[in-house]
Structures are given as structure tokens and as C-alpha cells.
Structure 1
């Protein structure tokens, strides 16, 4: 008779108590990207569940498999994350998530994890690792649009890698952007300036990140603000880019080509729909670069755009890291399944 099956449950407080540090987060995400570049992952394009009834939000459903052979673990995973823009009016986070992990060989359930913090950390780590391979040498100025949960980890992990001389942030609501800048200033130990508009945040920055929260595509990100040699990282759900932005871009990198074909959302969706770029126009997936199969930045004057939509493999990698740490520290609950 088969042994009884149990699952590990990690709540939000458990995830907080485990306190993955910056180095652990970056290492887990880069390992998953290397596995992707070596053919050790399955990435299913995300699906969108629209609740209807006039609700300003949707669910993202992410599915994937990671076989990290070098590290000796493998999981299949499904994450469901709600993305509800107006939640702030009720004092709620706009994004809340759950991650389910399974044995990819047998389908046995292994864990259920509060993935709200995972979503924020893994997005910031993907931004930072993209910049590690694609940013100009010694970038001085970071311009960042957006103040949601993922934005904090973008700035924190980017600054860990580059120690910027100047950090500018902006979001449409003053009551969010100023506390955001104050929190970052305190945590990073350096001034972070909240700007009044997009232009004063982005114009002339070495790395330009866009993580806005728009209800519909709006070209607020002007192509003229991108200086030669800069790195542009747009990942808002709704596109903010002008249609001519690709005219000044030398190299486009994505997290997954398959996600270019899926869904109505994303920074380059209008450009794909207009026939301005397709999968053949993409230089590489970031995983190919991390695995050494494709080059990253090759010239100082290259202007590069890195579009990431979020990988289920990133969620799985951080989930795996949390499970390992939880086992070491005796954190979490073991629940009977069968």
C-alpha cells in the first residue's frame, strides 16, 4: 500500500518569517533561468480569468515545470494571482496569490504556499537579473514608474546590483509615490526622489522601468526619453509605449517567446498587433542569455528593451527555496492529503 500523502502549507506569516534575503532570491531566480535556457523547464503562457460583472480586475493563471538538475529538485507548479486595480480603495493589496506545487513525475501534491510575497520578489528579481546581463556598464541613474508591491523589489534588487547614484520614482497617486520613496530611502540608506510626472522620472535615465497600473493602453512613455545605450524594462499589464519605440531599440529580449502569442495584455502587445515585431525579431529569451547560449549586451551604445510578463518557473523556484528553508527551520504546517 502506498504511503500516506501529506502537503506542506506555508502561510503569509510563514513566508515572512523565512525571510529570504536578496542573495537567496536572486540565486533562486537565476537558477530557474539557467534551467530554462538549458531546456529543463516547461513554460505555459499565462491564462486570464475575467470575473465579469463590471469588476476592474482579473486572475492570472501561471503554469510550469522546473527540473533544476544541478540542484537536485523538480516541481510542477500552478499559481493563481488576482490583479484587482481598485483594491486600494478597500485597504487591500491589488495582488494576492496562491502557489500549488506538485511532483512532476507522479502528480502528487507537495505544497500550498501564500505566493503574494513570492509574486513581488520574483518579479523584482527577474527585472534585476535582466539588468545584470543587459544594462549599460556602471549605470548611474534609475527611473522607475509604479509603486505597487513588485516595484519595491525592482528598486531594491537593482540597487543591490548597481548601487545607483540617483533613483527617481513616480506613480500617479501622490499618496502612494511619496511613502514609496520614503520607504526605499530608509531601506536603501540613500535618497530616493519621488517625481511629479513621467518625464522627470524617466528622461535620460540609464535604466528605465515601467510597472504602471493603467486601465487601458496609453502611450505615456515617450520614446524620446530613452537615451542611446539605455536599458528599458516595461512590464505593466497595459502598454504605455509609443508605437515608434522600437525604431530606437537595437535589441529586444523577452522572458518567454510563447507569451508573445498569448492574451491581450503586455507592453509590446500593440506593436505585435501592428506587425512591428514578432518572435523572429526577438534577440533572445533571458534564460538563453543566463545559460550562455546567447549573448546579452555586446556594445556600450546598444539600446536594449527587456519585456517580461512573469514566468511560472520563477514562482516555482522561489517556492522550492522557501520549502527547503522551511524544512531547515521547522516552519509551516504539514497537512494530510490522502
Structure 2
């Protein structure tokens, strides 16, 4: 009888590194752009203190399918000693529907979101970028820098978040881990001014980045907006930039563009296109060193399932994980 593999977060960390996640996520975007993916837009359940999202996906040509269930509860770290984001992923055999694996999806979510920013910078940032500004110093900020360090030669970085101890701890750890001078600063303006790449990973409901702080030629990874009404960038900045998205249905509903779209200030035809189309050569991406580019990341189930499938195959190969017969 076939058995289901159970994988914990610590086991997953043994099985996959950022360079492999970058490859999986880039491939996932390409498959999505080639329209070889079934992927309904994520569905939400809204609670008093957070939300729950269901994200199914089927990569048809690769025979990989599964579903992620992920929460976002911003007050968890302060009140429950739990992560803001937690997730579980089930991988399903497309031929039989059998649950091949059930695994922690929290680390995979963090890693694939970091990888999305890395892939976006690879295709949309200028080729001569050296400086990085981060607004937000949570777990997503760590994986953003981790991924960017794989694709760009970062010479220096500055980070801001509202909690002094968090930004100081981030700067210290990242400086030591990657041998990059990372400095904690006391305002978002200082973090993003005169930077080649800007990353925003915050839970804010109102813009934290002003238009005048961003230099010509900057690439921005806007990673934080993940629900209706949330935005990290001033609308004026969005409207003056070339904006790339991962998925129109999700971005217009809950991504960085959702607020200007809801106000009638931006339509789908105003966007520069999908990141996947840039990857497969259908869209030119950045067209000048002076333009500001924005990647509005909402997170796609195809990223999770492609990454999880890589984890699953390595677990089989290395005989890691616990097997359970659910039909017993």
C-alpha cells in the first residue's frame, strides 16, 4: 500500500537551499506564463485577528499538484508566541488523488517568497546594482536578502523597521552571514534613498514609501500588501513606474496595486505585464536604466507546489521523513 510522507520544518531545511528554490520559482513562473498550469486565485477566510488562504495548483506538463493552506495573523508574535505566517502543504498524485506528502509550508512560504523577489530582481533590476534598502525586518526580509544575494552582487544594505531591536538584530545577523555591510537606520526614508533595489516587507495598511524618496533606475520588490486595502507605496509612485505583477486577479484584489485599482486610477492595460512573460521572453521587462520598476508580488500556489515537489523528490532520494498509511 502506498504511504504518505510527513515532513517537518527542520527536515525541509535539510532538504533544500535558496539556489534550488530560485530555480523552482523561476520555472514555476515560466510554466504559468506558458499557460500549462491550473491555478485558481487564492480563496480567503477572514477572522477577527487574521485570515486563512487556500491555494491549489496543478502543473500539467510536469504532473505536479497540491494545495497550500496558509494563515496570516499579524499579532501572533506579540500575543501567542507564534509566527505571523504558518502553512501546511499537501502534495497530491494527479493520477489517483493520493496524498503523496504532507509537509510544513511555513519555511517553504518564506523561501519561495524570497526567491520571487530574487527572480524579479534578476529580470527587472539594472545590471549594475550594488545597494539595497529594506523596509521591514521580519522573516520575509531575511529570505529576501538571502535570495538577492544569490543573484546580485550587493555591496551594502540598509534596513528599517519600527522596532529598533529587530532592525539591529537583522543588520547584525545578515552582516555576519553574508559578509555584507548591513546597517540599521531609524527611518524608511534613510533605508530607501539612493538605493538600486528597494524591498518592502511590512504589514502596513497605508503607504510607508514616499514617491520623492525613490531614485530613477530603482527596482522595487513590493512584497507586503496581501489583502484588500493594504499598500506600502504611495499611489503616485505606482502610477509613475513600470509595474509587473505575478497574477492579475490576485494583484487587483489584494496586491500593491489593489488600492489604486479600486479607486479607478489604474487598469490592467496600464501595467507593464507579468513577470512570467518577461522570463519566457514574451515581454522585454526593463527597457531603460532610468525607469523605476516595481514587482507587485502576491504569491502564487505554483511557486509553493513547484518548491514543495523539489522537497518531496529529495526526501524520497535521501529517505527523510516519516511515512503514514492514512488508509489503514
Q: Same fold (TM over 0.5)?
A: yes
Q: What residue in structure 1 maps to residue 245 of structure 2?
A: 254
d(CA) in 2 for partners of 1:269 and 1:100? 29
1:227-258 Cα shifts (integer Å, max 9, x gaps)? 11111111213212222113421x21101112
Q: What residue in structure 1 maps to residue 110 of structure 2?
A: 120
Matched, 1:66 2:56: no
Deviation at 1:261, TM superposition (A): 4.1
Deviation at 1:281, TM superposition (A): 1.7
Deviation at 1:266, TM superposition (A): 2.8
Q: What residue in structure 1 maps to residue 125 of structure 2?
A: 135
1:301-327 Cα shifts (integer Å, max 9, x gaps)? 222111010011110011011011111
Q: What residue in structure 2 maps to residue 327 of structure 1?
A: 316
Structure 2 gaps of 5+ residues are none
1:102-142 Cα shifts (integer Å, max 9, x gaps)? 12343222211101100000000000001100001211211
1:32-64 Cα shifts (integer Å, max 9, x gaps)? 111112111122212221223xx2x22222222
Q: What residue in structure 2 maps to residue 222 of structure 1?
A: 210
- Kept in 2, the 8 Å contact 1:35–1:291? The answer is no
- Kept in 1, the 8 Å contact 2:251–2:298? The answer is no
d(CA) in 2 for partners of 1:302 and 1:258? 25
d(CA) in 1 for partners of 2:236 and 2:180? 35
- Kept in 2, the 8 Å contact 1:5–1:337? The answer is no
Q: What residue in structure 2 maps to residue 298 of structure 1?
A: 287
Matched, 1:34 2:26: no
| TM-align CA RMSD | 1.5
Please point out which of 134, 150, 157 is paired with 2:140. Answer: 150
Q: What residue in structure 1 maps to residue 264 of structure 2?
A: 275
Tell me the TM-score normalised to structure 2 length: 0.94
Moved over 3 A (4+): none
Q: What residue in structure 2 maps to residue 11 of structure 1?
A: 8
Q: What residue in structure 1 maps to residue 306 of structure 2?
A: 317
Q: How does 1:40-189 map to 2 (within 5 A)?
A: 40-52=36-48, 55=49, 57-67=50-60, 69=61, 73-89=62-78, 90-189=80-179
Please point out which of 215, 229, 236 is paired with 2:224. Answer: 236
1:4-25 Cα shifts (integer Å, max 9, x gaps)? 342111111211222x122211
- Kept in 2, the 8 Å contact 1:119–1:150? The answer is no
Q: Which moved more, 1:173-182 or 1:293-302?
A: 293-302
Q: What residue in structure 1 maps to residue 189 of structure 2?
A: 199
Q: 1:261 to 1:218 in 2, by over 3 A?
A: closer
- Kept in 2, the 8 Å contact 1:44–1:258? The answer is no
Structure 1 gaps of 5+ residues are none
1:146-197 Cα shifts (integer Å, max 9, x gaps)? 1221211101111221121211111111121111111111111121111111
1:61-116 Cα shifts (integer Å, max 9, x gaps)? 2222223x4xxx32222111121111112332111110111123432222111011
d(CA) in 1 for partners of 2:71 and 2:273? 29
d(CA) in 2 for partners of 1:274 and 1:316? 34
Tell me the TM-score normalised to structure 1 length: 0.91
